[in-house]
């Protein structure tokens, strides 16, 4: 088996290969699911190349991805594999709902263990945060699940874009292996010229497309253009102040097409040139994982920040001189 560098997640000693295999695309969301035997073959191929960290979730399929991964693990040495799965997303008649109640978490873990056909899960993390349930309740129950169902000291983590919840989770539970989505802790290189001057994702405060304008209307008194994202955090459009004409409508009904994007490979000159073209008020900075592009017929790029003409001007001009 080839050797791949390993890294620790958090401070509890949990170690994974620096390169892992996300198995979602084998069963859901990106085109036709692959044949089961092909998916198993791919997982085995990854393991033979040195990858030991495999990621799945109950919502992928739903459920079928966990079954596939479980079958693939049957012929692999379990003690050499780090298996991650998730809870928190529930599909009801094709619509995803977020759940975090104690009863749900207990059943979700039991069901995942059965589908995966394993005795324990190495990393069990919360896919989305249920804002109707106190995070303390969800975390306390998750700890009980890990102690009683899994029987070994394993790892509970938080995946959702909810930074304050992460801080509270660590404070009340001691868990520190947070496998955060890149939209909270962006893997951004500030040595890269474009990323160094961009407005980071969090600072830009992008708005969910499903929000009603009346809930965020004050944003448009301060800003001419605001990025709009889907539930995964990808920028899917921009809402401009001049288009805000119906207070009770969702932002998705007012947004325009996504702005152009730049990557680490884009020169600063080209990035600024985009903004100097009159039709663009904003560009999206994408961290493109080009080594994965084409593996399943889709791009793995992710939004890590934004550049606006106003933001660029503020870098070279005192705030008092900016025309608001």
User: 126-161 pLDDT, tens per residue?
Assistant: 766 666 766 666 666 666 655 554 444 355 554 443
In whole angstroms, what is the distance from residue 70 CA to residue 254 CA?
44
Give the residues across from 189 on adjacent strands.
none
Which three-class secondary structure state does DSSP give residue 125?
strand
Burial 52-79 (b: 16+ CB within 10 A, else e): bbbbbbbbbbebbbbbbbbbbbeeeeee
DSSP character for 175?
Answer: -
One-character DSSP codes across 228-247: EE-TTS-EEEEEEGGG---T
Q: Residue 237 in contact with residue 211, Cβ under 8 Å? A: no
The residues that are catalytic are 60
Domains contained in the chain, CATH given: 6-173 (3.20.20.100), 193-321 (3.10.580.10)
Render each residue's pLDDT in the chain as its tens digit; 324 residues. 667 888 887 666 778 888 889 999 899 877 789 999 999 999 999 999 999 999 999 989 889 999 999 999 999 999 999 999 888 878 777 777 777 777 788 888 889 999 999 988 888 877 666 667 666 666 666 666 555 544 443 555 544 433 333 334 444 444 444 443 333 334 556 667 787 788 887 778 889 898 999 989 988 888 888 999 887 777 888 999 999 989 999 999 999 988 888 876 777 878 877 777 756 778 888 875 433 333 333 344 577 888 887 777 777 554 444 444
Q: pLDDT, tens digit, for every residue of 219-241?
A: 888 888 899 988 777 788 899 99
């Amino acid at each position: 088996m080839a050797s791949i560098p390993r890294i620790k997640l958090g401070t509890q000693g949990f170690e994974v290969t620096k390169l892992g295999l996300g198995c979602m695309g084998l069963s859901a969301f990106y085109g036709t699911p692959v044949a089961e035997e092909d998916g198993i073959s791919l997982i085995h191929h990854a393991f033979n190349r040195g990858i030991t960290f495999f990621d799945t979730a109950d919502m992928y399929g739903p459920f079928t991805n966990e079954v596939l991964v479980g079958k693939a693990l049957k012929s692999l040495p379990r003690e050499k594999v780090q298996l991650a799965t998730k809870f928190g997303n529930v599909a009801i008649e094709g619509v995803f709902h977020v759940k975090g109640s104690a009863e749900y978490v207990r059943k979700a873990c039991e069901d995942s263990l059965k589908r995966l056909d394993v005795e324990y899960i190495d990393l069990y993390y919360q896919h989305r945060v249920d804002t109707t349930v106190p995070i303390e309740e969800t975390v306390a129950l998750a700890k009980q699940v890990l102690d009683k169902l899994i029987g070994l000291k394993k790892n509970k983590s938080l995946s959702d874009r909810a930074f304050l919840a992460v801080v509270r989770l660590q404070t009340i539970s001691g868990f520190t292996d947070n496998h955060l989505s890149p939209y909270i802790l962006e893997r951004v290189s500030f040595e890269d010229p474009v990323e160094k001057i961009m407005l980071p994702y969090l600072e830009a405060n992008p708005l969910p497309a499903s929000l009603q304008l009346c809930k965020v209307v004050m944003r448009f008194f301060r800003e001419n253009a605001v990025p709009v994202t889907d539930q995964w955090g990808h920028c899917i459009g921009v809402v401009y102040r001049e288009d805000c004409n119906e207070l009770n409508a969702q932002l998705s009904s007012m947004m325009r097409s996504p702005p152009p994007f730049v990557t680490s490979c884009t020169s600063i000159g080209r990035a600024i040139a985009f903004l100097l073209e009159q039709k663009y008020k904003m560009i999206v900075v994408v961290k493109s994982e080009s080594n994965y592009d084409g593996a399943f017929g889709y791009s793995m790029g992710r939004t890590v920040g934004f550049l606006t003409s106003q933001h660029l001007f503020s870098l070279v001009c005192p705030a008092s001189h900016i025309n608001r």
